[in-house]
Structure 1
Amino acid sequence: MANASGVEVGKLKDAPMRRWLRGGVTRDYRDPEYPQLRLRATADRKKASLFLVVNEGGKTVWQKQGVWPSICIKTFLEQLPVVMAKRSAGAEVLRGEFVTVVDLLKWFLGHIEGNRSFSHSWRANCKSVVSKHLLGMFAYLPLAELSFVAVDTRLVKPMLAEGYSTNYIKSAVKIFKRAISAAADLRLVESNALAGYRVEMSLKMAPTVGTQLMESDLGPLFTALRDAIWPVAMLFMLMLMFGTRINETRLARWEHFAGDWWIIPAANAKNRQEHRLPLTPTVKALLTHYLQWQVKHVGKRAFLFPGDEGAISIRTAQYWSEQIRFKSFTSHALRKLCRTIIADMGVDTMVGERLLNHALPVLLRTYVHSTLDKGMLSALDAYHAHLILCGFNEVAPEIIPRSSVKSQNTQTQMASGWL
């Protein structure tokens, strides 16, 4: 109901406030029960700013408290007596978009939704952690009361009691800190209440044991790959042969293997830069055999590793990695092993960094582009020959014959050019 002053009068509840916005008649909205509060609709009438209207020095002052529906009006009204009491005592009222921690977390989910500068898997993980844990654990906690102790008592200790691993808890804390930091960076909160907080303050992290692969592990690794089904073996053979990341590899399409190159699109790369990897004869033989196997047993597919919709999911790829584990290691350990071996072989540091798609200065990358391409092919040729000498041919003996490359020849190759 609109009064003579053109202000809609109603209850500060979601349903009547939505009707007011849809009505499109009045700009302001108030509830007689809360005379110090006023809502003002935005131009598109999709949301409204919530103001605290107070008298300061004989003047009426409007202080913005947040934006509805981003702010939970019910929670704000519950905290209003506290806010007014603090004002009476001379304390400054928190100004910003949020009143509670939950308000901020809901904003964060909207902030990253559809933002393709973040990977889909990272956004999905954030949404899962926030929805499953953070919203419930920080329910009704005013943002002004967020502290290191609150993280310890509301998040870390309850998750420990529920049996979650320390690494998972660390991940949840990291996402929570990212949400607070993002709001602070955009000046939606006055300060970052968790600046300087480290999960080690509340949680003793177990030392990382047995998560790395060494060259001496190649034998058992090749045995595990030999016994795995072809898609599983192929996924991890490519990761080992090129040092690619698990996401870059699982999203590979046949069209990405054009002529003498494997092209990893910018959208699939972690650094959002297209990456070109030269194909050695060994890789070409593997790809030809795998394509024949896929067409015969699965059917023609766009992806090397097809799932129900598009490529296999990251969770499926991680499940596959468990099938080849003869010790505790992550898929990223294959990438590290690749980098370690080519470094030990004497491959130039710049070539090694380029192979793994680590960032190089733009001018340097442009200047040495053609030279780097030749160095990468030479390095991969020698590296793949070295893998065969270590027993890689046992994974696919019908494709990769036992190498005729002798240690002396390998050393000669490494001593020349980029190697």
Structure 2
Amino acid sequence: MRIALLGCGTVGGGVVKLMRRNAAIYERKLGAPLELAVIADRSLKPDPSLGITAKLISRDNEATVARPDVDIVVELFGGKTPARELILRALGAGKDVVTGNKALLAEHGDEIFRVAGKRGLSVGFEASVGGGVPIIRILRDSLAGDRQRAVYGIVNGTCNSILTTMTETGVEFASALADAQATGLAEANPALDIEGHDAAHKLCLLVTLAFGVGLKPRQVYTEGITRITQSDIEYARELGYAIKLLAIAKDDDGAIEARVHPTMIPNRHLLAGVGGAYNAIYIHGEALGSTMCSGLGAGQMPTATAVMADILEIARRRLSGSSGASNALGLPAELIERASVKPMDDVVCEYYLRFMARDKPGVLGAIASVLGRHGLSIASVIQKGRGAAQTVPVIMRTHEAPERSLKRALAEIRRKRIVQSTPAFIRIEENL
């Protein structure tokens, strides 16, 4: 089995290392050798330590994917261009494809999977969600006999590490982000991670695998962690919660909730203990009940192991002579219908509310009165000592209510000038 590698950055370098280190193991598993035929990378230089010679390197992407001696094309460029065109060209040339490109698959996966299905080819994408956590195979294969009802994912290691740092060291968001950038965990421009977009891309794939419907990133309500303060972390702890950036999908008899946002979850829950750069996906099935998979969600070698798993799976199929695509999404691509997404205003949650209230009689009652008129009942209240500018922080936890009601109540509180600044709120998932 001959492999063409598109891109030899962090993950690509890990794939090369594994192919060199485990060559004998892979040959024994397959009954045939895996051979790295070519690496297409315009900036790559020979590296004797990895066995990368000048002869192995190509600067011509298009010619690489069309080479007749290549069986599997592994796309690790990232981004949508030229990755989309190269993957389609590879499929057109009869090559199976492996990719970890979640942004591309979230936007153009329907096209890519349809083309692969028509040509009887496979697209492996285990590395696109959860790094080394084998969640794609688990949802597609291991849990195929059950009906999934909900998926909750910590799927961005950068955000999880930042929130863990804030929780454990007491620093504010900006400081925790700077630490993550200094260690290389966060990019110089971290917006894709900290604004929640990376998690939304991954959630699109999880929704298709769990519920069998298609979803685009623009349909996912997306909110990042930039507004989380150390006060929120401390009050959450006092209320018995941890704050995580969760990718949440629920199937309410065909109406799909799809949202990414900071979420308070009970400290007793398994997800609350997932710290640092680790990822975890918690799945609730109708028959099985709940199960969770966790592991390193990023990094060279964890992600490279996921890529290699796809390569080995496809190689086994090719060597066995079996025909037909592997139904990478769990069902034929042409049968995947567009998801009916529940509007965020209709989503029902409990809420954490933080007000900077004016320090005068009747303010707490006025806030409670407005909330009550809009159908929000209060479960608990924390009121701290006097702060600057004659204001006091007031923390409330509500019972369940539609988000529409919460937004209307908070808008009225602002209009009445009951509080000093814009109220903050975080959604609570009490019963995951």
Bigger relative CO (Cα 8 Å, ≥ 6 apart): 2
Structure with larger Rg? 1
TM-based fold match above 0.5: no
TM interval, shorter chain, is under 0.3
Q: Report the TM-score, using the length of structure 1 for normalisation.
A: 0.25
- Larger strand fraction of residues: 2
More helix by proportion, 1 or 2? 1
